[in-house]
Structure 1
């Protein structure tokens, strides 16, 4: 994918540095089987497109609740600053699975690779397009992005895809604005405060932090079903657990264990308050501010599914959105087989067993 005038200065460097962080240990898929046993326990490494992002909270929460261990799976969670980087780790064979956006499965099918979502955490993006406080009077819609600097987590990320969609719908091309790799979290906040970006797409707790600091305000809010339907014309299944189709077919028992654990976590999210959920998360993932994190969790908690199942109409809407603006899918929508981009067979069994 080509975007114009990419900014690769300090903002991008900071995000790239974060890409090497391993939260719970390193594991590389090599000659040993990816579901190798350690004392009878399956070993799986999952790359997360930002462990501190609330949209991907089920990954760490499942670990904290001990649900992976209960299923007999030794899961190592690694982190990358964006979903695109996490996807690259999967394609390179460095990990067995990714917690990232479902839309990557469609884009990669257009490129001849088969990825499959096996647990759908959310049917909305859980993101918002934020406008810097100093630009609030000049950026009122996507049409106002001309001549501006638009932040995304990284090129080829879901924030990049959606930014292209909003601007294209408004008649603005990628040549009309500068795409900036702004990363996430404090990197994104700093970029917005210091004028590195005029607007940008991000997630909670970054959204709530910017609002509380009065450093940015929401332009498009896709943390709720209503906001997502308004912005994208329908649901947009996003945060998910996805793997290569080959891995899913060859390791069904391990995949089922992961699905069992994640579906149980989704039930926990549904049945507990934001404060109770926040209390289970590691302190360093909450940015040292429990109150702010709980507030952000409360704003985003409703986006998670209760059963991990894909919304079929939502999957079709993702394809509609991507094929409108994404270069990899323009003119190829009819060639994409959605049935190969996700499966509910594992969550169906997990749900019936609960």
Structure 2
């Protein structure tokens, strides 16, 4: 493609004023792009701020609708539910308890806010006493195939409770296919799957483990989450999950993996979600608290970069404030 040259072509003409810039803006950002993570816990009257994530809370079920209604008022219509269970055991059986905290949260939101779209995270780490994402063998290794049944039980339980979408985040091989089969067999063939297809073993997850009380009691998760050095493998993982029945795929984290996000979107052509994770959020909050950055401009620029790289949706703890800023 040939372009004119200076002085005939002057790109600054279309940068002169907000209305001119808006006319040729290539990427849009709105509250419709955001999915907000919500952490629900047992008890009553609880709205506990997460120390490492200022402005983000664990809430009890009686406080849930205040959060949901605030989001709806801001134009955010998607939530991703995480549960902090009342009890944990070796296999995470609270995950598929029909009266578990996430299941009850689904029922409350369905009844009181039918316009909110509920996505349920499916993993074992919040529910197991050891904090790993599946069932352990005697030597402490996470048994991939034995875990698939547990994840399927959890997914079906959440679908029964009213989840609109299931989002497996565990990184077990074959879990999308297993969950798809279980959902279909239980009569939930209309429930889509958002797969955490391309999820890296990242240092950016630190604050989330405070939020979900999910730190592993030994070792780490590098045996099942991806090596940050691998981009091509990330694309392959997305294709594998699509073949198993995923309806959307994800790249997590977002900010340090924009190159992978672009490749996953371009090469698969599938709806792609970016997870703007806890460490990315907390770094911005910490710098803003020191007065080192303009928080509003930085947040909106970061979210725009994810959209520009190919994200159709963004899971972000900034959703409330970003939606508020975008409406100003």
Larger Rg: 2
Report the TM-score, using the length of structure 2 for normalisation. 0.31
